[in-house]
Copies of this chain bind each other. A is one copy, B any other.
Amino acid sequence: MHTIYGMRSSGNCYKLHLLLEQLGQPYRWIEIDTRRGETRTPEYLARNPNGKVPLLERADGSCLAESNAILCYLAEGTRFWPADAWLRAQTLQWLFFEQYSHEPYIAVARNVVQHPNHPRRDELAQLQAAGYKALAVMEQRLADHEWLAGLRYGIADIALYAYTHCAADGGFEMASYPAIGDWLQRVRSQVGHLPMQV
């Protein structure tokens, strides 16, 4: 059985919570509070030298970091990971887009808004501007496709749902993105869907 070290209120950790529940796989969850320094202890750094959550640990103690790498590992061989090589590549494209062009702006803007003394407070307008660019890329795809990669719900949708569904918390005006709004609703209606714990 896998162990996940994660923080329930983190979107990156929520991705794994959602996939594992939808896979129906048993797992152990160890709650880690990053704000209390629990990713900077010697014990945690021995598991993940990069000091971040989430982290997957296997029964033999071997570990895997990076939320989207963990999604790929857990989804392999299931309906959440395409069998076709080109669709797998499209899935990876969206996963890298999420970590490079989406999360660093949309998740960080949410964090800034939620914490009035956040050190990046002065950057909020730039974070939002970059976040809107990411939303526009998603809107264009979803205007004429049901899902981000391929013809069915999969880990690209899970990864991008995590911080898109709560983008309004970061001050993003979502009414201008109707295709994203419809897609969020489709994701929510999948069997086994769970809300993020905030």
Contact = CB atoms under 8 A, between A and B. Distances in A.
Interface of A: 49-50, 62, 64-70, 72-73, 76, 85-86, 88-90, 92-93, 95-97, 99-101, 103-104, 133, 136-137, 140-141
B85 A69 contact: no
A109 B141 CA distance: 32
Contacts of A50: 97, 101, 133, 137
A84 to B, nearest CB: 11
Interface of chain A: mostly helix, strand, loop or mixed? helix
A93 B56 CA distance: 11
A11 to B, nearest CB: 14
A155 to B, nearest CB: 12
Nearest to A138: B49
10 contacts: A50-B137, A66-B93, A66-B97, A68-B92, A68-B96, A69-B89, A73-B85, A96-B99, A100-B100, A100-B103
A103 B90 CA distance: 21
- Name the residue among A67, A90, A100 with the largest chain B CB count within 10 angstroms: A100
Contact of A92 (B72, B90, B103): B72
Contacts of A69: 89, 92-93, 95-96
Contact of A141 (B49, B68, B96): B49
